[in-house]
Amino acid sequence: MNAIRPNSAMARDIAFHIHQQTDLKAHKEQGGTLFTKGDGIHVFDENGKEYIEGMAGLWCASLGFSEKRLAEAAYKQLLQLPYYHTFFGNGHTLATDLAEKLISMAPVKMSKVLFQCSGSECNDAAVKLIWYYHNAIGKPEKKKIIGRERGYHGNTIASVSISGQPHMRAGFDIPLPGFVHTDNPNYYRGHEEGETEEQFSDRMAANLEKLILAEGPETVAAFFGEPVQGGGGALTPPRTYWAKIQAVLKKYDVLFVADEVICGFGRTGNMWGSQTYDLQPDMLSCAKALTASYQPLSALMISEKIYEAMVKQSETHGSFGHGFTYGAHPVACAVALETQKIYEERDIVGHVKAVSPAFLGGLEKFSQHPLVGDVRGVGLIAGVELMADGAKRVPFPAARKVGNLVMAKAADHGLIVRAIGDRIAFTPPLIITEAEIAEMLSRFGKALDDAYAVLKSEGVAKAA
């Protein structure tokens, strides 16, 4: 590790900047990496080193890091109407156009769109609307929200309470009361001996039903789920999981919010993860690839029955008392509309389907690596489970942080991936080519080999 030079950008960063989702003590002592440029699927740090961004930033830079059409859309809008709000019945035509576009694209019939600035805000707003709705229909006791362990829905107080991420709860007095959690559907780690994926899904659904009954169905308002868990490790659902989960929700009149913040706009090989897994949500949240992350914007799509309850509540109270200054920002809306044009013109969904076999097939080859226990994915999202003994499902000691070791070795080879515990996540930009996939996987293979050599020397990994 190189010493941090006084007055360097990194020294000033340590002095003045708090980094999110970061080991603050380690960052204070060692610093991190500062990036200065992007080009296609690549980013470059302040020293000029090139990396393949295997995570599209935070699951989000769907069109890569140098799409000039989006920069031009933002610039033109900044010159014409750089800001306006949507409070008090005011607005602008860009929000109108984008809302109409999203409703036309929705995977199930939706009625209206509520714009926010981030996925976290979007899911937070969904919680408010769930409570608002049940008050309107005369069921004020129906307020509890169910999330899943290892699920991720954001970092506002409500959205992180839905989330099942232990490190995001610790020290914050979270989750809030009324937020409960059901199983993490990680078949590889969680299945019992001899249990098929279908049987595992039966058990997951049965456990959800037991939770609802234990809490009292009359008190359970909604269930949040990502079609593919992102923060849970790019974790695809086991076979028949979603059909069985949705049957339980319907049985007990529990609203379903599909969190498409990561999966929406092509990531799973369809425009929506809800299409990939035949989901029938009452609300759908999206963000990230909505603007290819060139501007902060999120959208909550709402069914007609929820909208009608909102109108009733607004009439009762004199106003729909919710909003954010920058919700439906015109520059963000302009970028989102241009992003959707690019997806259509370049058939981004078709491209994902075309390159997905090279991506998933290439990762699957690492199943034979001595550090790898399981590989699962769909479209251009996948997770690689690291195990001391893959066949017997024996994990590495948690304290060794093997995932972080592999992530660091990948960075050494110019590849950015995400360690989620001892699971390595991949979500490259949707524009990635087969040749770029091959290079990405080559770099990952070198990282696995380097990590294996370290762990074998430490006696943590067995000889191949």
Write out the two tokens for 342. Answer: 């690019």
- CB proximity list for 338: less than 8 A, separation 6 or greater: 69, 70, 73
At residue 2, the pLDDT reads 61
Tell which residue, 72, 110, 174, 186, has the closest CA to residue 420: 186
Per-residue model confidence as pLDDT tens for the chain (464 residues): 467 889 899 999 999 999 999 999 999 999 999 999 999 999 999 999 999 999 999 999 999 999 999 999 999 999 999 999 999 999 999 999 999 999 999 999 999 999 999 999 999 999 999 999 999 999 999 999 999 999 999 999 999 999 999 999 999 999 999 999 999 999 999 999 999 999 999 999 999 999 999 999 999 999 999 999 999 999 999 999 999 999 999 999 999 999 999 999 999 999 999 999 999 999 999 999 999 999 999 999 999 999 999 999 999 999 999 999 999 999 999 999 999 999 999 999 999 999 999 999 999 999 999 999 999 999 999 999 999 999 999 999 999 999 999 999 999 999 999 999 999 999 999 999 999 999 999 999 999 999 999 999 999 988 76
Q: Where are the domains of the chain?
A: 33-66+347-458, 69-345
Q: Does domain 69-345 have CATH number 1.20.120.1200?
A: no
Taking CA atoms, 139 is separated from 17, 107, 123, 239, 458, in Å, by 46, 28, 21, 34, 59
Cβ atoms of residues 213 and 247 within 8 Å: no
CB neighbourhood size of 377 (10 A): 22
Instruction: Give dist(CA 53, CA 55) in Å, integer.
Output: 5
Contacts 24+ apart (CB under 8 A), 208-211: 208/146, 208/182, 208/183, 208/245, 208/248, 209/248, 209/251, 209/252, 211/146, 211/180, 211/182
Helices and strands (H and E) in the chain: how many: 17, 15
What confidence score (pLDDT) does residue 1 get?
47
Give the Cα separation of 28 and 243 in Å (integer). 47
Domains 33-66+347-458 and 69-345 share a fold: no
Predicted TM-score (pTM) of this structure: 0.96
Q: What is the pLDDT of residue 351?
A: 98
Topology at the third CATH level for domain 33-66+347-458: Aspartate Aminotransferase, domain 1 (3.90.1150)
CA–CA separation, 304 and 320 (whole Å): 16
Q: Helix, strand, coil: what percent of the chain each, to 5?
A: 45, 15, 40
Q: How many CB atoms lie within 10 A of CB 407?
A: 20
* CA–CA separation, 180 and 238 (whole Å): 22
CA neighbor of 284 nearest in space, from 114, 146, 86, 94? 114
